[in-house]
Amino acid sequence: MFDGGTAGGGAHVKCKRTEDATHRETHNARMGETPIQLELQLSVKPLSQPESDRGLHPPPLLQLPHPTEDPPQVQQQIQLQPEQQQQQQLSESNSEHQAKPVWIKHRRLLLLLLGISFCAAMIGLFYYMHHNLYTKTNNHTGPVTPCLSPACQWASARLSSSADPFTQPCDYFLFTCESDRLTLDGGGRLRGQGIPGHPQNRMEKSTSPERRGKNEEKGGEREDKTMNRKALLLQNLRGTLETNNRPDGSAVQKAKRFYRSCLDTRSLDTPGAEPFLTLIQKLGGWAVSGHWNKTNFNSTLGLLMRDYATFPFFNLYVGKDPNETATGKSKRYIQIDQPDLLIPIQWNSKTQKSEAKTETLRPFLASCQRYLALLGALPGSSMIHVGTFISLSSELAVAASPLQHRLTKGQLHQRMTIKELQRQAPAVDWLGCLQAAFHPLALSEDDHVLLHNLPYIVQMSRIINKWLNKHELSTSGPLHTFMFLNLLHTLMPAMDSRFSQTAKNFSVALGNTDREAPRWKHCVLETERGFDSVLTHLLSERIAHREAEEIIQNIFSSIKSKLHELKWTEQTSFDLVMKKVQSLVPRLWTTTEISSEAELDLLFSKVTVSANSYFSNYIQLLSLWQKRRSKLLIEQTEDADILSLSPSLLGNELLFPMGIFIPPIFHPTYPRAMNYGAMGFLLAKDILHLLLPKIYSQSETVHAVGECVWAHYLTVTERAGRGGAFSLSAAQQQEVWVQYSALQVALQAYHQSLKQQPVDTSISGLSHTRLFLTSFSQINCDSDPFREFMPMEPSFLITVICAKSNLCSTGLQCSIKTQNSLQTC
């Protein structure tokens, strides 16, 4: 037994030493040698098995006699040993020759099995390494480096107090936006109310004090629960204006002093109406106060336009002609529009005319009487002035028309010279008034202007002439009363709170129940109107330009890749879109004109700001505003709009405003997963909306993805196959595709950034992918203009994107439906 075991062990050792040779021999055509066959046979047998199990028996020569046998028998066996040995050798030889066909028969199968096993092992090893790398890249389930910056600590506290989409998926993804979560207002200031090329769009500065705040203060009731992007930006600017931790230049000091004087409402109430009455006397007085010099109508109108940014009979803007913009021209023009009338009006679709709202006339009359009473008018005389004011306002209202009607009639951007305009509407001294409004610019009657409602301008001129020629009213000066009540509304934010309270009461009487915006927000907006370049400079100092540019470039690069993945309906559409996209240069929208505080100090050197008189400061503000308007008319460059919140196209540049790169949405010390999950998604969504407004008709993918995501939603909400389910419209499918694609683009951009810089930090110990998706969930209620087309809460997209295998390290198990059973969209 000892010898037999040694022989088997020796064969095994020999096989081990010849493994490499065996692999080489698998490629040979002839391998029939018996030693190799034996080596292979022995090598595949487990050494732990007993000999009997291995099927190997020692030859009879090696078998010892049993000790109970007699000596004669033993002697007989010894004598017969040579003969038996010969017979044994012959037997072994015969057995060996008989075994050869069996080995040859199974040799190829054994070698094939060995080859398959080797290949399977290599494939398994490769898969393991790739899966390990993919998991680390996408999930980062290993140890993560915590971010310990103050911004990260604040973010960690906020995340810990928010609902976690990975622990309560069903409740979380089906929640409503009324819950306590950060919500973002994706729209910027809505200027121009849809007029293409209008100065109140995102590329131009507004000159209307009321319009600028209407959309910003909308939704004030929910401010205690939620925050939108505009509110976040204003909070940031508020912190800048209220911080005094460094020596500031004179321009910065003036901006902060203006802001503080605006907050001091007590100083506004002390003088009452006296500041306004004093100003009226400087303008020649009016009949209401009892001292009127019967000043010329056009001279008074010119003064109101030049010094007080008040436009009673028409509005003035500065902007481009969209017909020229399409050809690459950037010249700006004076644009003349119908005014924002104080009297409430409505459009009568039957008569195709506007008219004063009958039900609002009584409260409107009461508010006008209250204004005159606060200004010291006697009750008997005030009724005459209020009556003529309402009558004149009603006549002007009939000539006005809504934007959509004017757009249908082709009344927008009608070009003519000032000389021709004078001929069409002679009651107004157009050249004199426009020269006053844009002082010190030199204008001539041959300069072109753009009109947005020429029929109104013509009718307005006739109405003014009629009232100027009413001799029986010459002592009451109805046109001056009309102009000064408009001036009152311009200056009301800087006057006694009794005036603003009267305006608020009238608003409530009209059915407006929105809560008034906090005073600090109003003061930040007013400060920006006059000191925008100062605030832009301060914000630029606090923005992480390098990090912002990096995420912009990565998101835009991922969007270009996404466009190649779409299934386009026709090659022409794809070529046009890609040509447009390839020509764009995305960048952060900054102002290069003002580069230092010294230049700012020089620019505001003639501005005086009092610490105790907000009324006089407000007059300075209106003067600054007028200078900004004149500057827009002569310059070709675009100043960065600090309050803009959406990317804009300017020539071949795709501009991203600085005001969106602020906490809590973005911070340079955040983990990149957090920045890409929130800011990356918002950027991608805004770009897709801007560049692909008609993508539904251009790509079949939009419909397929929209339906797939909707199928996920119906399954999870148990509405599939029930009558409560409804099909998505084209606009809804497009919005679902936009938001789902934006999330995919942001995630792809984040992975690309990890390839460039593999190291990233984390918050609260979350894996990077989970932190990315959790950060995205914090902006779930983004209230952009397209929100009405989103049929579900955007956070539900997390369940759809996590249906992709190996993406989310933590399975989103929902009590309604397991997400792993859903298809990948």
| Per-residue pLDDT tens digits for 379-436 | 778 888 999 999 999 999 999 999 999 999 999 999 999 999 999 999 999 999 999 9
With H, G, I as helix, E, B as strand and everything else as coil, classify residue 304. helix
Average pLDDT for 177-206: 36
Residue 32: pLDDT over 50: no
The secondary structure of residue 794, as a DSSP letter, is G
- In this prediction, residue 51 carries a pLDDT of 38
- In this prediction, residue 516 carries a pLDDT of 84
- Cα–Cα distance between 607 and 624 in angstroms, integer? 9
Sorted by where each begins, the domain ranges of the chain are 2-138, 298-476
| Token pair recorded at residue 743 | 């999330």
Determine which helix (DSSP H) or strand (DSSP E) holds 416, and give its type and residue range: strand 414-417
- In this prediction, residue 297 carries a pLDDT of 94
Least confident of 44-58, 681-695, 783-797: 44-58
CA gyration radius, the chain: 42
| Token pair recorded at residue 337 | 């529009």
- Cα–Cα distance between 560 and 83 in angstroms, integer? 91
pLDDT confidence of 492, banded at 50, 70, 90?
A: very high
Residue 53: pLDDT over 50: no
| Per-residue pLDDT tens digits for 762-779 | 998 898 999 999 999 888
Residues 6 or more apart in contact with residue 419 via CB below 8 angstroms: 445, 446
Average pLDDT for 52-81: 37
Determine which helix (DSSP H) or strand (DSSP E) holds 414, and give its type and residue range: strand 414-417
Residue 21: pLDDT over 60: no
The secondary structure of residue 678, as a DSSP letter, is I
| Per-residue pLDDT tens digits for 461-471 | 999 999 998 86
pLDDT confidence of 254, banded at 50, 70, 90?
A: very high
- In this prediction, residue 197 carries a pLDDT of 36
- In this prediction, residue 19 carries a pLDDT of 44
Residues 6 or more apart in contact with residue 567 via CB below 8 angstroms: 699, 700, 701, 704
Least confident of 168-172, 294-298, 423-427: 168-172
- Cα–Cα distance between 360 and 596 in angstroms, integer? 52
Greatest CA separation for the chain: 166
Q: Which of 136-140, 303-307, 347-351 has the highest mean pLDDT?
A: 303-307
- In this prediction, residue 172 carries a pLDDT of 53
- Cα–Cα distance between 531 and 252 in angstroms, integer? 9
Residue 363: pLDDT over 90: yes
- Single out the residue of 596, 591, 587 nearest to residue 638, CA to CA: 591
C-alpha pair distances (Å), 380 with each of 177, 372, 377, 577, 825: 53, 11, 8, 68, 74
Average pLDDT for 474-498: 92
- In this prediction, residue 634 carries a pLDDT of 85
Average pLDDT for 478-492: 95
With H, G, I as helix, E, B as strand and everything else as coil, classify residue 551. helix
Percentage with pLDDT > 70 across the chain? 71
CB of 687 within 8 A of CB of 647? yes
Residue 643: pLDDT over 70: yes
Residue 817: pLDDT over 50: no
With H, G, I as helix, E, B as strand and everything else as coil, classify residue 720. coil
Angle between helices 614-634 and 297-307 (to 10 degrees): 90
Least confident of 43-57, 286-300, 603-617: 43-57
CATH for the stretch 298-476: 1.10.1380.10
Residue 480: pLDDT over 70: yes
Asked if residue 46 has a cis previous peptide bond (ω within 30° of 0), the answer is no
How is 599-646 classified by DSSP, letter by letter?
HHHHHTTT----SS-HHHHHHHHHHHHHHHHHHHHH--S----TT--S
Least confident of 432-441, 510-519, 567-576, 781-790: 781-790
**Mean pLDDT score across all residues of the chain:** 78
pLDDT higher at 85 or 596: 596
Residue 621: pLDDT over 90: yes
pLDDT confidence of 719, banded at 50, 70, 90?
A: low
| Token pair recorded at residue 354 | 């506007």
Residue 106: pLDDT over 70: no
Least confident of 227-231, 487-491, 692-696: 227-231
Residue 546: pLDDT over 50: yes
Average pLDDT for 184-212: 35
- In this prediction, residue 203 carries a pLDDT of 33
Residues 6 or more apart in contact with residue 527 via CB below 8 angstroms: 237, 241, 255, 258, 259, 262, 535
pLDDT confidence of 737, banded at 50, 70, 90?
A: very high
- In this prediction, residue 397 carries a pLDDT of 95
Name the E strands within 183-310.
285-286, 291-292
pLDDT confidence of 714, banded at 50, 70, 90?
A: confident
Q: Which of 7-11, 101-105, 463-467, 765-769 has the highest mean pLDDT?
A: 463-467
CB of 481 within 8 A of CB of 293? no
CB of 740 within 8 A of CB of 825? yes
The secondary structure of residue 813, as a DSSP letter, is B
| Per-residue pLDDT tens digits for 495-538 | 999 999 999 999 999 888 888 889 999 999 999 999 999 999 99
CB of 663 within 8 A of CB of 182? no
C-alpha pair distances (Å), 289 with each of 278, 386, 471: 11, 14, 20
C-alpha pair distances (Å), 155 with each of 70, 152, 172, 664, 784: 97, 5, 19, 7, 24
- Cα–Cα distance between 650 and 281 in angstroms, integer? 46
Cα 733 to chain center, whole Å?
Answer: 19
For the chain, what is the total number of helices (H) and then of strands (E)? 35, 13
Q: What sign for the dihedral angle of Cα 766, 770, 773, 774?
A: negative
Q: How many CB atoms lie within 10 A of CB 100?
A: 12
- Cα–Cα distance between 321 and 310 in angstroms, integer? 24
- Cα–Cα distance between 422 and 457 in angstroms, integer? 10
